[in-house]
Each structure stands twice: as C-alpha cells, then as structure tokens.
Structure 1
Amino acid sequence: MIKASQDLPTHRHQPAPVHAMASAEPLTALSRWYLYAIHGYFCEVMFTAAWEFVVNFNWKFPGVTSVWALFIYGTSILIVERMYLRLRGRCPLLVRCLIYTLWTYLWEFTTGFILRQFNACPWDYSQFDFDFMGLITLEYAVPWFCGALIMEQFIIRNTLRLRFDKDAEPGEPSSPLALANGHVKTD
C-alpha cells in the first residue's frame, strides 16, 4: 500500500535517526552470492545470444548456459568482491581489472578442469586459435576485462550498498532511509 504524501515524513532532507539506521543491515554473504550468481547466469545467456548473432547472424538470439554457471559466477564474483575490498585503496582501477581478469582465467580453467573430470564441462574453446586445453582462450581477454570493469563499478559496488530492513513491512516505507532509497511521493 502506498502512503499518501501527507502521511510521509516531512524531514526528507535530514539524516535518518540512528534508530532507523540500526534496522538496516548489509546483505549476508549468501544473499550477495545469490545476486552475483543470478547476474552471472543472465550475462552468460546474453553473451551467448549476442555471440550467436555476431557469428551466425541468428536473429533468434538463442542464449544458452549451464546450471553450473550459477555456482561458477556466484563464487567467482564473491571472491572478486573480497579482492575489491582489499585492493580499492591500493591499486588503480585498470590494475584491479587486470587482476580480476587473471583471476577469471584461473577460475574458469580450474572449474572447467574439475567439471571435465566428470564429463560435465559445458564449454569447449578448442576451436579458438589461442585456447589452452579447450578450457580457456585468449580471444576472450578483452570481454573478460570489460566484464571485470562493469562487475566492480556497477555490480559489486551497488550490491555492497544494498541493505535489509528487518523491521520493514512489504510495500510500505518504514523510515526516512527507505524513502531515500526509491519510494515515490504520490501527490
């Protein structure tokens, strides 16, 4: 239920009271892992659809992935989040993105190698010129680097800003903090 504007607090530009801030808690690691997993899964489907269009001019945009991508992306991005928190004050952005790209190659190779032992690896880069064991390929260096930049600047930074408000009721702002995070005035 949306409250009428006369019911909304009038102190919108003042900082939220300490008691209102106390109920807003950062997302748990599991919650962040879930968001990262879903994001990675979605990006994988979109990338494969775009790749299919560029290579084969397929207007159906058939994007595909494996359920393994949820674990692979969720875990990898959560680890990159830890790297970001440690490196953000120490390394320039482009150096961090290079580190994330190297991590991505290591993680893709490791998870692919393990999955291959069970005949479960969903990718095979052996048709690329610069592949290694069909598990990684240098042709993806620029997309991985750009993905790392987007991941840090938009996905990780914004996910770390998200909060749970344990006292909130669904559909109703519970504090000035909630009003500052996207509830719309309706008058």
Structure 2
Amino acid sequence: MFTGIIETLGSVASIEKESNNLNITIESTFTNELKIDQSVAHNGICLTVVGIFDSQYLVTAVQETADKTTISDWKVGDIVNLERGMKLGDRLDGHIVQGHVDQTAICSKIEDAGGSTYFTFSYDSSIGNLTIEKGSITVNGVSLTVVNSKKDEFSVAIIPYTIEHTNFKKIEIGTKVNLEFDVIGKYVSRLQEYRK
C-alpha cells in the first residue's frame, strides 16, 4: 500500500531480459534502508526488492507488468519516481494507492497556468476506467487531483515543487505514463456493471 507521495528519484542502472522477465537495477539514495522482499513503487509500479548492492537494488518485472505499464520502454539512465510502502499509523498525505497500474496514457497537452502547470493525459476509456472531477488519480506514482475530467482524458495541475521533485520534469507531449485510477471509484464502477 502506498500514498502517491514520492520519496525520492532513482535512476535505471541496468536492464537485463531473462526469459519473459525484466531484471532492473535501480540506483537510489535510500537503498541502504531497503531489505530483500520489500515493496517499492517505481513510477507507480509495485515491485519487490530481490537484491541489494551498495547504492543499487534489483527488482524483477514479469510479462504482465511489462504488458500493462511503461516498464518495457525504460532505458538505462531513465529517472523514476520512488516510494516505499506506507507504515501503519502514518498520515495518509496522498490517497490510497496499491501500486497496481491499470493502464498507460499519453501526455497530450502542457499549459503554463501562472504558478502551476496543467498536464493533460489521453487514455483508452474502452477498458472501463474513469476519472471524476476533483477525484484522485495516480500518474507515474504521483497522487494527484483530477481537473477537467472527460471520457478519455483528464488534466492535473502540478505545482513547481512536484515538478522539481518528481519525473514530471521529464514529461513532454507524447510521453507515455502509468495510471492507477482511484480504488474506490474502481469498485463503484464494477458494482454498477453487476447491476445492469
């Protein structure tokens, strides 16, 4: 379980394919605090730590993860948003995030809003995911509030601090990102399907 509040940025140190899996080594400032079997969200993708080497750690992504997220597009040197699992009893500063990416989206517009920046993302709504105005959304692991919710796109307003401390600073028009839709909204949507 995560909150969508990014702790630090990491960088991809190496990627090795092993059968259908990807073994990815991450360089991180909090590696010395990690332990084997710990869950860490990488751009919103929950992955298990399977090896630790000085300032780097190793995670493995299976084919299902590669198919549903941006992880198969990662390259050595890419910057990723990192968050460790929340501690029981901590404040929930973002929203309830599972680290289970629902689908990807493409950045379709970036607008300066005089103190903040609006990023608009387009996604395939036929999969059944949806946003609501002022609802929660996770973009590359970052907990955000939806503005301008539409059937197949939404926008988020990003403050300068978030741009500086996440990989939003690397997002441009055409960039593919990971989305995790609000877990409560997903359950409500599924219940509505059963009522039909």
Answer yes or no: same fold by TM over 0.5: no
TM-score (norm 1): 0.26
Relative contact order higher in (CA < 8 Å, ≥ 6 apart): 1
Higher fraction of strand: 2
Higher fraction of helix: 1
TM-score (norm 2): 0.25
**Structure of greater Rg:** 1
